[in-house]
Structure 1
Amino acid sequence: MTIQSCVQINNEWDIVKARQLGRNVAKEIGFGTVDQARITTAVSELARNIYLYAKSGEIHIKPMFENGKKGIKIIARDSGPGIKDIRAAMEDGYTTSGGLGAGLPGVKRLMDDFVIQSKINEGTEIVASKWMR
């Protein structure tokens, strides 16, 4: 079983690599196809945000095992400009890139746990996890 995997995000192809890694780890853990798709979508959104707003960063994906439960943890980290207004960024429809504004709120809905920390001019870290039912 994969212990932990990381993808550096520096270009659009890295978003694809992160998506594939997310799907592979989710499948390896034993998630069904619907949850694999949810996890893959969340990874894609987080990687895309790194690329669009911070230009570079990393996505860590690792299995979790707690009290007989299995899950997956995604950590998205960058040293970009930070998020000025986290509350606004977490509202459906909010966008600064002209996209659909489904990014962070969508990731939060797709996953079971979601924590965001961001400091202006220092970067952002988002930790999202999903447990098998």
Structure 2
Amino acid sequence: MTLYDEEFSARRRLTLRGHASAPGGTRTAQPVHATHAVRSEQDLLSVRHAVRAATVEAGFALVDQTRIVTAASELARNAYVHGGGGSLTIEVLGHGPRRGVRLTVRDQGPGIPDVDKALTDGWTTGSGLGHGLGGARRLMHEFTIDTAVDRGTTVTAIRWNDR
């Protein structure tokens, strides 16, 4: 199975789960909600595919799909590398005509002792470039971090579809 086939299959599963029959046999959009484990490199790849499928479901243009997938990848990798693993929840939001995608990444790691520093480009506690967290924040419209030392971190990020 190619990467395209895997992404198409994930998108199809997400689309089928994201719709339900309404009275009269018409189909109406329902919120899509899926949680994925982030415990391995393979999980990181699976998360990227699932997030891409959610962005397609929400009707995002290709550039915005890429922004959201990039943010999800950075946040999930942080949970995996710095938090010892965790989970990523994807929700397709619909507020009237406005649609969006919410990503919630949770880990039970050591927490972030200084959030302001962590959001500064170039600052890292690992071997990376230190652009992931701040970059993810810039790619999304809404971004919150809930963290406590030795209690883990939850990052919630939303991007709205402006088209």
State the TM bucket, normalised to the shorter chain: over 0.9
1:54 pairs, out of 60, 70, 83, with 83
- Check whether the contact 2:57–2:92 (CA below 8 A) recurs between aligned residues: no
Unaligned runs of 5+ in 1: none
Percent identity reads 38
- Structure 2 counterpart of 1:125: 154
Q: What is residue 77 of structure 1 aligned with on the other side? A: 106
- Alpha-carbon distance in structure 2 between the residues aligned to 1:34 and 1:68: 20
Tell me the secondary structure at the aligned position of residue 111 of structure 2: coil
CA deviation map 1:11-54 (0-9, x unaligned)? 11111111111101001111011011001101100110011011
Quick one: distance in 1 between partners of 2:56 and 2:85? 27
Q: What residue ranges of structure 2 are gaps of 5+ in the alignment?
A: 1-14, 19-31
1-structure distance, mates of 2:95, 2:129: 35
Deviation at 1:100, TM superposition (A): 1.2
What's the counterpart of residue 4 of structure 2?
Answer: none
1:88 counterpart SS class: helix
1:109 equivalent to 2:155? Answer no
Asked which structure has the greater CA Rg, the reply is 2
Bigger drift between 111-120 and 91-100 goes to 91-100
How many pairs are equivalent?
133
The higher relative CO (CA closer than 8 Å, separation ≥ 6) is in 1
Superposition CA RMSD, Å: 0.9
State the TM-score, normalized to the length of structure 2: 0.79
TM-score (norm 1): 0.97
Deviations 1:38-87 (A, max 9, x none): 01101100110011011110000011111420000000011111001111
